[in-house]
């Protein structure tokens, strides 16, 4: 027993996760699974989840409805007219709502996510700076766009999604948005290879990344250490080899360049 993890004296009840299994599963149980029965059970569970979401939706008042054209002029997007709400928080609630609902039977929910995301800002491609409020709304929309984006079949919708995710990475410094974009593109290409969707070609107007991602770089620190000669006492990694996932948590990239670490004797 490791000190600090569990009491070392007295009568204690061992958590369920540390208890031995009560029933030992047999090999026969997995062989007797009825595919039709399990599929029906999954469909019933989905229907129950959908009903629960509909109950939640019915409890939201008029304040959660999209703004009317008299307050927000209609904005055309690849997903239809954009949905604009009173606050970014309300838009986030609706994006997460449709993400939970979102295959062909959920394509409508994916389109709704795109309309809401498009309503957060008119055209992020031409913007060089945004407020922290818009940045937070952009970051919150990323995972919703991923869940919806992998379902998109239309090239224009796909290109818009990738452009928006790249713009989010550029404007907020949250480079995970770029990885989410790469995930969408990989899913589209894989689906096309399997014959489950149309082919995908990246928008030629989207500038390709100049540096290679650290996650795709096979180089390891231990290999770099072996490369050092006996006279060198510093281990320096190129900027392109640094991970960037947590960059936005600290500050912007320029702030990290000013950071100096020193050893105290």
Residue 51: which residues within 8 A CB-CB, separation 6 or more?
A: none
Structural contact between residues 99 and 144, judged by C-beta atoms closer than 8 angstroms: yes
Domain ranges of the chain: 48-207+247-265
Lowest mean pLDDT among 109-123, 169-183, 215-229: 215-229
What's the pLDDT at 215? 40
What's the pLDDT at 249? 43
Lowest mean pLDDT among 21-25, 63-67, 77-81, 130-134: 21-25
* Residue 223 in this model has a pLDDT that exceeds 60: no
- Give the pLDDT band of residue 250 (cuts 50, 70, 90): very low
* Residue 244 in this model has a pLDDT that exceeds 50: no
What's the pLDDT at 91? 93
Structure tokens at 166: 């790249």
SS (H, E, C) 18-74: HCCCCCCCCHHHHHCCCHHHHHHHHHHHHHHHHHHHHHHHHCCCHHHCCCCCCCCCC
Lowest mean pLDDT among 17-21, 46-50, 188-192, 248-252: 248-252
What's the pLDDT at 23? 66
Per-residue model confidence as pLDDT tens digits over 5-25:
555 566 766 666 666 666 665
């Amino acid at each position: 027993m490791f000190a600090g993890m569990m009491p070392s004296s007295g009568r204690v009840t061992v958590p369920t996760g540390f208890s031995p299994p009560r029933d030992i599963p047999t090999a026969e149980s997995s062989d007797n699974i009825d595919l039709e029965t399990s599929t029906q059970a999954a469909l019933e569970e989905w229907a129950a989840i959908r009903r629960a979401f509909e109950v939640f939706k019915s409890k939201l008042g008029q304040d959660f409805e999209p703004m009317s054209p008299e307050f927000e002029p209609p904005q055309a997007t690849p997903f239809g007219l954009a949905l604009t709400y009173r606050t970014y928080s309300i838009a986030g609630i609706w994006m997460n709502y449709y993400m939970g609902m979102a295959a062909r039977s959920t394509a409508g929910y994916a389109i709704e996510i795109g309309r809401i995301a498009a309503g957060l800002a008119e055209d992020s491609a031409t913007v060089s700076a945004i407020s922290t409020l818009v940045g937070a709304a952009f970051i919150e929309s990323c995972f919703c766009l991923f869940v919806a984006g992998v379902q998109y079949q239309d090239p224009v919708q796909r290109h818009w999604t990738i452009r928006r995710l790249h713009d989010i990475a550029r404007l907020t410094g949250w480079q995970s948005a770029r990885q989410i974009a790469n995930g969408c593109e990989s899913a589209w290409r894989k689906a096309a290879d399997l014959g489950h969707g149309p082919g995908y070609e990246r928008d030629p107007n989207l500038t390709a990344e100049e540096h290679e991602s650290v996650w795709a770089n096979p180089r390891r620190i231990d290999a770099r250490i072996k490369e050092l000669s006996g006279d060198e006492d510093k281990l320096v990694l190129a900027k392109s080899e640094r991970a960037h996932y947590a960059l936005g948590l600290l500050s912007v990239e320029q702030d990290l360049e000013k950071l100096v670490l020193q050893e105290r004797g």
